[in-house]
Amino acid sequence: MTKEELLNKLKELNRISSKLELSSTERKEVFESISGYTERFISTLDSSRAFSQKPAGRLAVTGDRMPLAEILDIYQKEVAENGINAASGKHLGYIPGGGIFAGAIADFIAAVTNPFAGVYYASPGAASIENEVVNWLKSVFSFPAGSVGCLSSGGSVSTLIAFTAARDKHRVKNEAVRKSVVYLGEQVHHSTQKALRIIGLEDVLIRYVPLDDQHRMRADVLATQIEKDCNRGLNPFLVVATAGTTDTGAVDPLNDIANIAEQSRLWFHVDAAYGGFYILTSRNQLFNGIERADSLITDPHKGLFLPYGVGAVLIKDKASALQSNYYEANYMQDAAAEELILSPANLSPELTRHFRGLRVWLPLLLHGIEPFKSCLEEKLLLTKYFRIRLAELGFNMGPEPHLSVSYFWYPFEQDTDQKNRQLMDAIHHDGEVFLSSSVINNRFVIRVAINSFRTKKETVDRSIEMIERCVKDIK
Residues making contact with ligand PLP (CB under 6 A): 95, 154-156, 189, 191, 242, 246, 271, 273-274, 299, 311
Cα–Cα distance measured from residue 4 to residue 6, given in angstroms and rounded to the nearest whole number? 5
* Residue 67 to residues 23, 73, 78, 285, Cα–Cα distance (Å): 16, 10, 17, 54
Q: Which of 365, 350, 367 is nearest to 309 (CA)?
A: 350
Sign of CA dihedral 362, 363, 367, 370: negative
Q: Which is nearer to ligand PLP, 274 or 305 (CB)?
A: 274
Give, for 207, the enclosing helix (H) or strand (E): strand 205-209
CB of 308 to ligand PLP, least distance (A): 8
Residue 150 to residue 322: CA distance in whole angstroms:
11
Q: In angstroms, give the least distance from the CB of 183 to ligand PLP.
A: 16
Q: 73 in helix, strand or coil?
A: helix
- Cβ-proximal residue to ligand PLP, closest one: 155
Q: How far is the CB of 374 from ligand PLP (least distance, A)?
A: 23
CA-based end-to-end distance of the chain: 81
Distance between alpha carbon 354 and the CA centroid of its chain, in Å? 16
Nearer to ligand PLP, 229 or 303 (CB): 303
For ligand PLP, the closer of residues 129 and 273 by Cβ is 273
Distances (CA, A) of 287 to 86, 241, 279, 298: 28, 11, 6, 13
Which amino acid is it at 4? E
When the beta carbons of 166 and 470 are compared against ligand PLP, the nearer one is 166
294: nearest Cα among 310, 271, 274: 271
Q: Tell me whether residue 194 or residue 462 sits nearer to ligand PLP (CB atom).
A: 194
- Shortest Å, Cβ 159 to ligand PLP: 7
Distance CA 453, CA 460 (A): 13
CB of 307 to ligand PLP, least distance (A): 12
Q: Considering the complex, what minimum distance in angstroms separates the CB of residue 162 from ligand PLP?
A: 11
Angular region, 431: left φ>0, alpha ψ -120 to 50, beta rest: left
Which residue number, 155 or 401, has a Cβ lying nearer to ligand PLP? Answer: 155
How near is the Cβ of 89 to ligand PLP at its closest, in Å? 18
Which residues are CB-contacts of 72 (< 8 A; sequence separation ≥ 6)? 33, 34, 37
How far apart are CB 130 and ligand PLP at their closest, in Å? 17
- What SS3 class is residue 71? helix
Nearest approach, Cβ of 413 to ligand PLP (angstroms)? 34
| Closer CB to ligand PLP, 344 or 471, in the complex | 344
Least Cα distance to 388 among 397, 401, 375, 376 occurs for: 397
Select 235 or 245, whichever has its Cβ closest to ligand PLP. 245
Nearest residue (CB) to ligand PLP, 118 versus 249: 249
Smallest distance, ligand PLP to C-beta of residue 192, A: 7
Name the pairing type of β-strands 83-84 and 51-52: antiparallel
Cβ closer to ligand PLP: 360 or 466? 360
Q: Which of 350, 169, 190 shows the shortest CA–CA distance to 271?
A: 190
